[in-house]
Structure 1
Amino acid sequence: MGTGLRAEKPRVVVVDDEKKVADAYALRLQDVAAVSVAYDGREALDLITEGRPPDVVLLDRHMPGLSGDDVLEKIREQGIRTQVVMVTAIDPDLGVVDLPFDDYLSKPVDREDLYAAIDQQCQVLAYDLLGEYFRLESTRAVIETQLPEDTDDADDQVAEIETRLATTEARVRDLLPDADTLLDEFTGIDREPY
């Protein structure tokens, strides 16, 4: 772990309404992650929802306008596959029990703790996505063997699954150093047609 992270250049979005704080975290991460910064909740949602989702979002809880709690809720409602680490000066209380975050860090956060949290969340996301990859492969195998080959519906479903497989595989390979071994050993699921 020479850089402190196992994933090479994970995508991280830093969200904090205090510009100096957000920029300081981004500066700490610039050599080990592809970092984007947002200074409010609306800007954060724009960054998170455009293109490929970030791997980790470092999210301040208390911001004017759209709070970190609101941003977190919208991320989860939209089903965006990203890990959310709340990074805040507010000590956790029982109110956090119902918040669907993945980790919680109290400010100030030193470099080692920041790296450790991102590294851990990247690994969690990688294994979650690996499970999704295997589910998609299984679904593709069932569709290919159980539906008549000449149906447009089957072709469309397989094409959609293959697109999702490629996207999921790319993210797993980016996040998990031993992904090549895991994915190469998984050759699909053989199904005999009925």
Structure 2
Amino acid sequence: MADSDRSNELRALVVDDEREVADAYALRLRGVCNVDTAYGGEAALSIIDDSSIDIVLLDRHMPDMSGDEVLAQLDEAGYYGRVVMVTAVDPDFDVLEMPFDEYLCKPVDQADVRAVIDQQRQILAYETLGEYFSAASTCAVLEAETSPDTRETHAEYAELADRADRLEKRARRLLDDHTILNEFTQIGREEV
């Protein structure tokens, strides 16, 4: 269930098999980001597949599909976002092999859940920014050194330009300050 339809906001997904718990965390995030909830692992994977979720708050202990299994599937699928385990399971050495980005033990108060969302948003924003700069720089070099006709028929260039565009939009959505993006686009290169 979506908190709002604001497509220009950070998107978070709260995953917990206990509806009251998932809804409570979603309520704590109201006004901070666009929040979806899933009450199980399969539902979470379906939501992530169908939309651009930036941050997943994931419980470990769930029937049918555990949070560990969801995490493994996200990793295998190359999920591009951040995963925060929010769980009553105390961590042990088993977490060494788990590809999460943060681990919080329940109960987590409103200030902490909002702080972790902001922290992970910033990290994702800078990761996205780095990928955008790389893709956009490559496009700019090709635009300066090749003709428009040549680029127009080059499938890899088209894919890279599309990727750069998606990354720029996501970075703008995630960043509070767009100064660095605006300065980057002002770098001049000679065109053919």
TM more than 0.5: yes
Instruction: Pick closer, same or farther for the CA change 1:75–1:172 going to 2, 3 Å.
Output: same
Shift of 1:123: 0.2
Q: Does 2:70 match 1:71? A: yes
Q: Deviations over 1:120-161 (max 9, x none)?
A: 000000000000101101221343355565447754333322
Aligned to 2:94: 95
CA contact (8 A) 1:147 1:154 kept: no
Aligned to 2:48: 48
Aligned to 1:5: none
Tell me the C-alpha RMSD between the 2 structures: 2.1
> Equivalent residues in 2 for 1:111-150 (5 A)?
111-145=110-144, 149-150=148-149
Q: Deviations over 1:57-79 (max 9, x none)?
A: 00001111111111111111111
Aligned to 1:183: 181
Shift of 1:174: 1.4
CA contact (8 A) 2:132 2:168 kept: yes
Judge which range, 156-165 or 132-141, deviates more: 156-165
CA contact (8 A) 2:143 2:191 kept: no
Q: Normalized against structure 2, the TM-score is what?
A: 0.87
Aligned to 2:5: none
Aligned to 2:170: 171
Aligned to 1:4: none
Where has structure 1 moved over 4 Å in runs of 4 or more? 145-149
Aligned to 1:62: 61
CA contact (8 A) 1:13 1:35 kept: yes
Shift of 1:40: 0.6
Aligned to 1:29: 29
Code of the aligned partner of 2:173: D
SS in structure 2 opposite 1:186? Answer: helix
CA contact (8 A) 1:57 1:83 kept: yes
Question: Any stretches of 5+ residues in structure 2 without a counterpart?
Answer: 1-7
Shift of 1:29: 1.1
Q: C-alpha separation between the residues in 1 aligned to 2:147 and 2:167?
A: 27
Code of the aligned partner of 1:108: P
Q: Deviations over 1:21-65 (max 9, x none)?
A: 0011111112221110000100000111113x2111000011111
Code of the aligned partner of 1:161: L
CA contact (8 A) 2:12 2:53 kept: yes
Instruction: Pick closer, same or farther for the CA change 1:192–1:173 going to 2, 3 Å.
Output: closer
Judge which range, 96-105 or 153-162, deviates more: 153-162
Q: C-alpha separation between the residues in 2 aligned to 1:77 and 1:146?
A: 37
